[in-house]
Amino acid sequence: MQGRRLATTDEVIAIVSPDAGGALGRLETWCTDRGIGLSTVDVGDDIAAVYDENRATLGVTLGGDGTFLEGIKTFAPRNVPMLGIDLGTLSFLARVDPDDMEAALDEAIQGRSRVDSRQQLAIEAPGIDTTGINDVMLEHVPPESPIGRKVTTLDVAVDDEYVGEFEGTGLAVSTPTGSTGVSLSANGPLHYPANNYALQLIPLQTHALGVRPIVCAPTAEIHVQPAGETSLTVDGGREHTVLEPTDDVLITGAETRAHIVRTSYGYGFFTAITKKLGWSIREPEADPPAGFSRLGETRPESILERARRIAIEAAHSAAEPLRELHGRVEDITYKSDKSDIVTEADHQANRIISTVIANEFPDHAIVSEESRGGSGADEWAAVRPAGDANVPDGATPDTERRLKGTEAPVPDDATPSEPSYTWVVDPFDGTGNFAHGNPNYAVSIALVSDEEPVLGVVHVPETDETFSAIAGEGAYADGTPLGTTDRSKLDESMLLSGYDPDGSFLTRFYQEARGVRRLGCAALHLCYLASGSADAIWEYDTYPWDVAAGIVIAHEAGATITDADGSEYPFAVERDGRAPLLGSNGLLHDRLLDHLDGAPGD
């Protein structure tokens, strides 16, 4: 999950330990001051009565690691990110000191925190069907007689391959998060847990020197069968059952992962294990040696470099709810409500992007297709400073203040904003494709300076591709430079067509070119021209939000872009009526213009 998504937080749900009194009072004050809703639930209680999936929710735990684990059990299935406030004594997971709670929360709702993904285990066995964040322990049941057998024999297979027979005290199956517990005590490897999804099998007090830990992919299906009565516990006893001989246990990576909010106010993993476990190769607060790369130490960014970074983060954040809702489009339960899902997707993506930009560039203007209020250019939203950005219906007072730029000031070392900058956003290009379960839709974000697009970012949620460009600095797809094709023969070329109302473009070029395709997403058409996946594109009908980002990307990749007459494409943030667009690798352009003569839009 992208930390920028937290900038639209409406609601906090806190799971509270019995001794959280003072911290809870401060949390209540913090939420009230910022107009954010707060619901509290005691450890172990269900949040169903207070959770609303339509509100952007941040989970908070007030307690130690036990409370944090209850938070994971509660929030992870609902895809809710959570921040742990450490009220315990030996916390590896909840790492924010109570004195830093308000500052950490502010950083989170300003979208400046990081959200780490943590792998969970899914466990199925007779009498148990659950998930765990740390480990599964399979151990011998103590014999009634002091001379009874104290050894457990476990047959293990991974996917379709038999691993062998483990004989000893038992077996632990651990996640990276759980690697600092029983696994570490049994000489298993220590895993850095953030965004690490490996599973590991750790033999406990084995009777064979050659038995070593095994690391598996999260998709691996680990089957365990005990030879005798065996105890199975999950996460230190939060779930427990006793297995009978030959019972089958299936352990694999859970489909849902836990999302942990990490701020600059929480101590890091290696600091945690140094403080708690005596990690002996550094002091708890040790700084890196001189010249060593350290967090946050980068060369100064220009305003366009910073804008590209923020735009990419905003696009990735907006893509998350789009992917989630896209998966529901073809669900039979929702087929009658497709238009509602599309509207919700458009609204959520626009809200995330607008909030992130307003927080970081409060003096910039923002215009977007979603906020224009209609389907034609006459309804195009007035250009306005980000501080006056549209506030979504039903937004909390704090969300409104944040959208108006009265909170979350730009960091002291940030490059000052220029009032001539305007962000042009299409939060959701390709709604028709989305509504039919087609993956060809994109998030498009551009920055315009004095009516000239100078930055473009296009992100494709379903393929996780990100195209970006800064004027004069080249175009890239996930760090790889882009360039147009060098084909000069029309009959060897692949063309992409946008809206073609009477089929004129298809008629003129179908026999002349190798093929004509239509993806239904202008932003993608321009990016595929830039990447060489197409040699030319034609758009009968464009508006600024359709093409602002793609134009920068295509231009920087070497494309030629004109109107239907070969004149400069008439980009303007505010423009009445449509504008046709012809883009090519340059070598084909004159030939294309010749064939367009007489076509609609000439």
- For residue 479, report the phi and psi dihedrals to the nearest 5 degrees: 90, -10
Which letter, b or e, does each residue of 171-200 get, where b requires 16 or more Cβ atoms within 10 Å of its Cβ? Answer: bbbbbbbbbbbbbbebebeebebbebbbbb
Active site residue 248: no
Q: Are 529 and 441 in contact (CB under 8 A)?
A: no
Which residue among 10, 65, 398, 535 is the active-site one?
Answer: 65
- Bridge pairing between strands 230-234 and 239-243: antiparallel
Quick one: residue 100, left, alpha or beta (phi over 0 = left, psi -120 to 50 = alpha)?
alpha
Which letter, b or e, does each residue of 127-159 get, where b requires 16 or more Cβ atoms within 10 Å of its Cβ? Answer: ebebbbbbbbbbbbeeeeeeeeeeebbbebebe
Q: How far is CA 216 from CA 177, 222, 403, in A?
A: 15, 9, 45
- What order do you get walking across the sheet with 494-497 strand by strand? 515-517, 494-497, 536-542, 579-584, 560-562
- Which of 439, 465, 471 is CA-nearest to residue 453? 471
Beta-bridged to residue 562, according to DSSP, are: 568, 582
Question: Could you give the CA distance from residue 136 to residue 178 in angstroms, rounded to a whole number?
Answer: 9
Question: Could you give the CA distance from residue 228 to residue 146 in angstroms, rounded to a whole number?
Answer: 17
- What order do you get walking across the sheet with 161-168 strand by strand? 128-132, 121-125, 249-253, 222-226, 152-158, 161-168
Q: Quick one: DSSP state of residue 559?
A: -
Q: Quick one: DSSP state of residue 492?
A: G
Question: Could you give the CA distance from residue 523 to residue 262 in angstroms, rounded to a whole number?
Answer: 33
Chain-centroid distance of CA 18 in Å reads 33
- Which of 539, 551, 588, 361 is CA-nearest to residue 467? 551
Please name the amino acid found at residue 472: G
116 is in an annotated binding site: no
Q: Name the maximum alpha-carbon separation found in the chain.
A: 98
Q: Which helix (H) or strand (E) holds 98?
A: none
139 is in an annotated binding site: no
66 is in an annotated binding site: yes
Residues near 503 by Cβ (< 8 Å), separated by ≥ 6? none
Neighbours of 232 (CB within 10 A): 24
301 is in an annotated binding site: no
369 is in an annotated binding site: yes
Could you give the 3-state DSSP secondary structure of residue 529? helix
Question: Could you give the CA distance from residue 69 to residue 94 in angstroms, rounded to a whole number?
Answer: 9
150 is in an annotated binding site: yes
Burial of 479: CB neighbours in 10 Å, binned 0-12, 13-18, 19+:
exposed
- Which of 519, 350, 500 is CA-nearest to residue 430? 519
Q: How far is CA 174 from CA 188, 190, 202, 412, in A?
A: 10, 11, 8, 43
Annotated binding site for Mg(2+): 369, 426, 429, 546
Active site residues: 65
Annotated binding site for NAD(+): 65-66, 134-135, 150
Annotated binding site: 65-66, 134-135, 150, 369, 426, 429, 546
